[in-house]
Amino acid sequence: MTKRLLYTMFALLTGLSTVLSGCVPILVAGAVGGTALVATDRRSVGAQADDEAIELKISNNIGAGYGDRVHVNVTSYNGIVLLTGEVPTQDLIGAIAEIARTTAKVRRVHNELTAGPVASFGSRSNDSYITSKVKARFVEANKTFSATHVKVVTERQVVYLLGLVRREEGDAAAQIAATTSGVVRVVKLFEYLN
């Protein structure tokens, strides 16, 4: 994020302070925290924006075509897309993967969709809880690698790890994830720097 953009955001937030009085400190803290994450990410700012756009495009196209019949999570990291979730038939697995493959700036697709009923709210909540436990353990292990370099996605208690890492960082992250309670399997989808 450029200094000019930061100053513009700060000026905008300061100007809103008369209207939002108590909310401004929260907004400023959020903007500063977001800037810190952008700065420590190994992807370029452009690649981060591309990943957000890829996720949105694929999700919108899946939603337009299949609606509530499917539960598909789309994660993009440096143009590498991970599809997780459930679809009603085996045929839809390939059709949804094709939507992802043909989206601009997608470099590769890892299709981990399964055919079957949509996961329950309880199952999804458990997956979110597992993700938060893995991320918390990454923060504790910050001497080994930066938690901001590894993206964690959990589906059906399987943890998928994405990121731009050195091999030793990826191995450390996978070891931490594998020894986190509730995790049944770890899948490394890293791009290695060495």
Find the helix packing angle between 90-101 and 45-66, rounded to 10°: 140
Q: How far apart are CA 17 and CA 146, in angstroms?
A: 34
pLDDT for 14: 42
pLDDT for 13: 45
pLDDT for 16: 42
pLDDT for 24: 42
Q: Could you tell me whether strands 151-155 and 158-162 are parallel, antiparallel, or unpaired per DSSP bridges?
A: antiparallel
Alpha-helical (H) ranges within 67-147 are 90-101, 121-140
pLDDT for 39: 66
Segments in the chain below pLDDT 50? 2-36
pLDDT for 5: 46
The letter for the amino acid at 118 is V
Predicted structure pTM score:
0.79
